[in-house]
Structure 1
Amino acid sequence: MFLNIPLHPGFVAQRQSTMAVGPRKSRVLGAILMLIFISLLVVVSRKMGQHKHSVQKPYIPSTRFWRWWKWSESFWNREQQQLDLIYNPILNVAPTNDSLVARMPWWLNHPQALKRCEPDRRVPRQVEDYNTLPQRFQDFLLYMHCRAYPILINQPHLCDDRPFLLLAIKSLAPHFDRRQAIRQSWGQAGSVANRTVVTVFLLGIASPADNFPDLSGMLSHEAKRHRDLLQWEYRDSFFNLTLKETHFLEWFGQHCSHAHYILKGDDDVFVNTWQIIRYLEHLPEVMTKDLFVGDVIRNASPHRDHRLKYFIPESVFVGDYPPYAGGGGYLYSGPLALRLYKVSQQVALFPIDDVFTGMCLKKMGLVPEEHKGFKTFDVDKKYRENPCAYKNLMLVHSRTPQEMIQIWSWLADPNLDCQNSTR
């Protein structure tokens, strides 16, 4: 097979001398020469291959691509780190290395632990100042892993007409007067400005531990009459407003996913439903998918004064808050709500619901958009009795039931003339 390969002159002389030795020695020598030639070819090929790869293959540093981070000393941050481990696409495999398993949170290999709504007795040992925290904090931390409570009052057919706008209002069981005022004013269900509007009130359990009377009988009557109440079996407290958020998003995905837009608000705000519909009708389609607007709070940090309502101790959370819309009310799209629920399962429950929603948006790579029509800190006092002050607003906080009905009547008056108004 190598007959046509030219040989070195010295090689030719050697070949001629070996021919006289005999056929056998000649064959052995030929085999040796072939092996030497093949070895040379292999060496040359490897050199060329190494040169080729050294040009095309990028340099990979010796440091590891991913390494374990240091566990946070703050409880919420540590819980979030554990959730990040679960939903990390790189680590979304069953660990096999013993040292890796040792670093995993205890419940990672016990998924049922997340579903049990029993107090987590490990918490007092993991939060250094647990015994000195306010009772509301102790309760929140003990049940922070509970995310699924049964629904007691449901309205599965509320959105059968595929509403253009769903008004989802956070309320408490005793707030009958607020809910009725909303039904008679800005929360009127049916056709508003030729658009289908549906209203639903979100409730938990008004616990006797919070000095609430037993109003279950009246609540049952109200639900049957108006068919606009949703109630879940969790304690209706300030820190559990985050549960109200996640349970509503789950309900929305199951029973109201065709609604175009959602206005989420408290039961003490006034909403200019006409103005919101006008805004949405003129919204460019490209903006609807990720729409989330409100009164945006930026560069906020936790309050460390234990006397404040929004107090968050360092033992629970460290860091700054992401941009978030004030919980008094904000507006977002139905498609975003569906994605928001999925992401909310990857974020540890936080005791302040609007901050929690901001955390979810940040995880989605989104930032809420500021809209000057949302006045969650009210308008100037001198304008509060001026009907024209509300004509171009979207939402204002806070208003009594009587004020809601009065403002709505102002805006419904066809003779209202705001052209010469100073506001």
Structure 2
Amino acid sequence: MRMFVKFLCASVLLLLTALFLLGKVRHTAELSPLLAKDYRRISPFTYRYLLNQPEVCRDRSPFLVFLVPVAPHQEEARQAVRRTWGAPRRDTLTLFFSGLPEEGLLSPLQRALEKEGQQYADIIQMNFMDSYQNLTIKTMMMMKWLAAHCPNGSYAMKVDSDIFVNVFHLIRRLRSSPRVAFITGSVIRDGSPRRDPSTKWYLSEKLYHEDSFPPYLSGAGYVFSTDLAGRILWASRFVRVIPLEDVYVGLCLRVLGVRPVYSHSLPLFRNLFEIRKLEYDRCIFAKLIIVNRFKPSELLHVWEDFSKGQADC
């Protein structure tokens, strides 16, 4: 009887494995590269870096690289990040990614950005207009930069400049996290396209015909092993560009067969990537990785207290 049960279990396991592999083969077979005219818009080879920092990882392999998308005019936000969670540390590197100002390359804003980049050596600028609609392109250029110039880093975090990041708690958790094919944050599993043209997140059926999104991570902040940068770039050859960068990364992950991991604490399963705005409480923030929506002055004020006393919680 025991032999029969073992045989039955082994048969079921083999059947499930075969079905899984068959599904993977079928999914791979269904993939077809985008037409050249469609891929050109998302391809990182379409664009170039106007300001670059190609040598920052030459003599080091940072444990965690912060990739922060910013608009050219957000100098106050960049300064706040530099003075808080993005400050220089042995384990971390912080870089800001920007597009072109509306006023153009000859504008005072562009000259100020170039001067700031020379002073801090942490600004990377691309030659497309900086806009919400181009955020997906910016994200792919961030992936390209990471894969090309800092491939030996362990992890990267795409994070907005208005986010509080508990870098201490994050690094502690990453010490015991997978180093390959790993991506974590606040996972959204029930997302669907909004068809109302008046909304900021409008997505036409022509651009995206499915009725739901695959699991994806909130773009406020997510962390991934650096090997995924090049793999996501590869997957983008099969995914038509949409103006929702976090959903787009989720679509690339689906091509790769990589499932995003929800980051939570035990035993209450609280989301560690808090995408709401919370009133500051040192001991609550000490147990989270990110909290959303801080003005630069608020971030500076909160960090001054948190960095001195979070160890007491």
Provide the TM-score with structure 1 as the length reference: 0.61
Match of 1:292 among 136, 158, 183: 183
- Give, in whole Å, the separation in 2 of the partners of 1:300 and 1:86: 25
Match of 2:100 among 183, 199, 205: 205
* Distance apart, 1:85 and its partner CA: 3.1
Match of 1:257 among 120, 131, 151: 151
- Give, in whole Å, the separation in 2 of the partners of 1:183 and 1:396: 17
C-alpha contact (below 8 Å) 2:282/2:309 kept by paired residues: no
* Distance apart, 1:416 and its partner CA: 5.8
Report whether the alignment pairs 1:411 with 2:302: no
Q: Once structures 1 and 2 are overlaid, which stretch shifts more, 399-408 or 263-272? A: 399-408
Match of 2:32 among 55, 66, 85: 85
Amino acid at match of 2:203: I
Cα deviation 1:230-265 (Å, max 9, x = unaligned) = 000011111111101111111111111111000111
- CA 1:370–1:114: 2 relative to 1, 3 Å: closer
- For 1:16-415, what aligned pairs fall within 5 Å after superposition? 84-86=31-33, 148-160=46-58, 161-191=60-90, 196-208=91-103, 214-283=108-177, 287-319=178-210, 320-371=212-263, 372-379=271-278, 384-414=279-309
* Distance apart, 1:338 and its partner CA: 2.4
- CA 1:147–1:223: 2 relative to 1, 3 Å: same
- Give, in whole Å, the separation in 2 of the partners of 1:385 and 1:391: 10
- CA 1:304–1:155: 2 relative to 1, 3 Å: same
User: SS state of the match for residue 308, structure 1?
Assistant: coil
Greater gyration radius? 1
Cα deviation 1:209-233 (Å, max 9, x = unaligned) = 9xxx740110011000000000000
- Give, in whole Å, the separation in 1 of the partners of 2:42 and 2:182: 29
Cα deviation 1:132-185 (Å, max 9, x = unaligned) = xxxxxxxxxxx5688611110000011121111101101000000000000000
C-alpha contact (below 8 Å) 2:44/2:141 kept by paired residues: no
C-alpha contact (below 8 Å) 2:144/2:229 kept by paired residues: no
- Aligned match of 1:23: none
Amino acid at match of 1:411: F
Cα deviation 1:284-322 (Å, max 9, x = unaligned) = xxx321210011111211111222110112232221111
Aligned length: 273
- Give, in whole Å, the separation in 1 of the partners of 2:101 and 2:87: 25
User: SS state of the match for residue 79, structure 2?
Assistant: helix
- Give, in whole Å, the separation in 1 of the partners of 2:310 and 2:199: 45
Amino acid at match of 1:401: P
C-alpha contact (below 8 Å) 1:410/1:416 kept by paired residues: no
C-alpha contact (below 8 Å) 2:42/2:137 kept by paired residues: no
User: SS state of the match for residue 247, structure 1?
Assistant: helix
Identity %: 30
C-alpha contact (below 8 Å) 1:115/1:148 kept by paired residues: no
Provide the TM-score with structure 2 as the length reference: 0.81
Unaligned runs of 5+ in 1: 1-82, 88-106, 117-142, 419-423
Unaligned runs of 5+ in 2: 1-29, 264-270
- CA 1:149–1:413: 2 relative to 1, 3 Å: same
- Give, in whole Å, the separation in 1 of the partners of 2:227 and 2:42: 27
Q: Once structures 1 and 2 are overlaid, which stretch shifts more, 311-320 or 196-205? A: 311-320
C-alpha contact (below 8 Å) 1:114/1:146 kept by paired residues: no
* Distance apart, 1:404 and its partner CA: 1.3
C-alpha contact (below 8 Å) 2:72/2:101 kept by paired residues: yes
User: SS state of the match for residue 279, structure 1?
Assistant: helix
- Give, in whole Å, the separation in 1 of the partners of 2:161 and 2:49: 20
- CA 1:368–1:227: 2 relative to 1, 3 Å: same
- Give, in whole Å, the separation in 2 of the partners of 1:351 and 1:114: 14
Amino acid at match of 1:328: A
- Give, in whole Å, the separation in 2 of the partners of 1:374 and 1:179: 21
Higher relative CO (Cα under 8 Å, sequence separation at least 6) belongs to 2
- Give, in whole Å, the separation in 2 of the partners of 1:220 and 1:153: 7
Amino acid at match of 1:301: S
User: SS state of the match for residue 345, structure 1?
Assistant: helix
After superposing on structure 2, the runs of 4+ consecutive aligned residues of structure 1 that deviate more than 6 Å are none
C-alpha contact (below 8 Å) 1:178/1:267 kept by paired residues: yes
User: What's the Cα RMSD here?
Assistant: 2.2
Q: Once structures 1 and 2 are overlaid, which stretch shifts more, 250-259 or 172-181? A: 250-259
C-alpha contact (below 8 Å) 1:296/1:325 kept by paired residues: yes
C-alpha contact (below 8 Å) 1:114/1:145 kept by paired residues: no
C-alpha contact (below 8 Å) 2:32/2:238 kept by paired residues: no
- CA 1:415–1:159: 2 relative to 1, 3 Å: closer
- Give, in whole Å, the separation in 2 of the partners of 1:171 and 1:415: 28
- Aligned match of 2:12: none
